Amino acid sequence: MYSSGGSAGPSDEGGPGFSQPTLDSFGTPLREVTFCVVDLETTGLAADACGITEIGAVKVRGGEVVGEFSTLVNPGEPIDPRVTRLTGITDEMVADAPGIETVLPMFLEFAHGATLVAHNAGFDIGFLRHACELTDTRWPRPPVVDTVVLARRLTEKSEVPNRRLGTLARLFGSPVTPNHRALDDARATVTVLHGLIERASGHGVVTDAELSEFCRAIPSELQRRKRHLADGLPQGPGVYIFRDADDRALYIGVSVNVAARVRSYFSAAEQRRRLRDMLASAESVEVVECAHRLEAGVAELRLIAGGKPPYNRAAKFPEHRSWVRLTEEPYPRLQVSRKPPAPGTPRLGPTSGTQAQAAIGAIEAALPIRSCRTRLSPKRMSPTCVLGEIGRCAEPCRHTVTVEEYGALVERAVSAMTGDPGPIAAAVGERLAELSASERFEAAAERRDELGAYLDLAAASQRVRNFVAAGELVAAGRAKGGGWEVAVVRYGILAGAVRTPPRADPMPYIAKLRATARVVEPAADVLDAAHAAEARLLLDWLGRPEVRLVLVEGTWATPLDGAERMRGAVPRDPGTRRRPSPEW
């Protein structure tokens, strides 16, 4: 554990769990981003009244040039002599050059998938967009970085009198001098871009998303004043906790590089008002160092659920998740409950209340199980309702079925939650066909959405239950820089984690980790929503292509007749609304 005195900074918004983003969801590292640095020469300054005479572009990635593009363009109009004196481009030079309708598709293909970079990008991008309009070409709307904006953030007047390309090229030692020719100016801008990115990294800007945010605003006075709190933090994976003067946790986040992530909250990349408010109260940053990203993600999930820091949103209240369960009475019914069902009892979840209610709707549409909330007694009859009159309920209220006969219906509902969803899907499918044939498309859409919610929830619930019931498993994922990220999982809970050194035999480390890992009580299913969230996070990690199973002590399998086989099989009729994506 590491603690930095002073103030604290925010963490990765909504770390793992429920709807939180993953550890890789904060943008692409800048070393992996392809930048297309472009420069244009034109007949004038107004994009809607002037033409392009030359396009030059350099494509770079990881500091290396991967391609260049350069061509003159016939603007279809005379070039002003004043422009010729500036650029050296004459009417004779462009007379035999291709027109913009030929050049533009070639340039867009060259720049496809890259982030566009230009010095005073509004000028160059404005001309390119107008060229798209003239040629009836779709503008691809790529990300754009303006080196003028970056320079205003990252250079001081004491260094440079202005932010012109020539001035910045000299500052950063460009081997090419800008000369108002497109390719040379683009090459000089590449040097300027790399110099500015190096400076931006000192402000915690390490991904394309952070670079984009950094260009939008300057740090507030509060951020500048508390920037020292990010000093000296560890650069490995871990959880960081912003605390106030009373040592209360204000905000908890996770990162594979704690130092860089915390620094970003004190830079212009952080513009969220809520987290700026948090910084006003923060007085220290505590760091829990972890073996690797998985352990960090699990630790964050547990800390947020346990401490409920006021400035976190996602994963803070797992107890607010909902379950589908059967009531405990002679004639049970399905209900949505926030109380976790007792271990071993049939259930679906946890999930949102909306999806839970929709899943119940699908089961009730297929089975004549009662939906009324009346407390029924096998000794006395109760008033009936319209569902019984239309045959949608077995009417236990009128004793038309015995407790034993109704129990058979309940067993079918249990099977729908824990086993084969086929009978429910088939029954709802028949109902959909009837409604569609009657042109009752809105009602059909409601039934279809309920069926989709049920299948998604049943598949997710069964998937996690099978994982928890498997007992102990050991898995390892390839670590960047060599070695393995090893995890020991017991009954859906991370019991131990270690990163092995590069080129070392991982098996002795695994044996030692298993011997010292946390003891976990056996469980056949998740115990509560927090347990479910951790199990789901572990499952997501296990599904990564670089992760390998080393050992499974129990049996980890998905039944052939389980709900997983039917996901995506919901019928889609034209004219009905699209069913919502899973909320679990």
Point out the residues that are catalytic: 180
CB-CB contact of 533 with 301 (8 Å)? yes
Taking the C-alpha atoms of residue 246 and residue 222, their distance in angstroms, rounded to an integer, is: 20
Taking the C-alpha atoms of residue 453 and residue 82, their distance in angstroms, rounded to an integer, is: 67
- CA–chain centroid gap for 357, Å, is 26
Contacts of residue 577, Cβ cutoff 8 Å, sequence gap at least 6: 445, 449
Q: φ and ψ at 304, to 5 degrees? A: -65, -45
CA atoms 171, 172, 173, 175: torsion sign: negative
Q: Which residues pair with residue 67 across a beta bridge?
A: 59
N-to-C CA span, the chain? 32
DSSP string, 505-553: -HHHHHHHHHHHSPP----SS--SHHHHHHHHHHHHHHTSTTEEEEEES
CA angle 572, 573, 575 (to 5 degrees): 125
Taking the C-alpha atoms of residue 368 and residue 374, their distance in angstroms, rounded to an integer, is: 16
Report, in this order, helix, strand and coil percent for the chain, each rounded to 5: 40, 20, 40
Q: φ and ψ at 538, to 5 degrees? A: -65, -40
Residue 326 belongs to what H/E stretch? Answer: strand 322-326
Q: Return the amino acid letter for 530.
A: A
Q: At what angle do helices 121-134 and 147-154 cross, to 10 degrees?
A: 160
CB-CB contact of 108 with 135 (8 Å)? no
Burial per residue of 511-543, b for 16 or more beta-carbon CB atoms within 10 angstroms, e otherwise: eebbeebeebeebebbbbbbbbbbbbbbbebbe
56: closest CA among 79, 87, 84, 90?
A: 87
CB-CB contact of 266 with 291 (8 Å)? no
Q: Is the peptide bond before 78 cis (omega within 30 degrees of 0)?
A: no
Taking the C-alpha atoms of residue 237 and residue 88, their distance in angstroms, rounded to an integer, is: 54
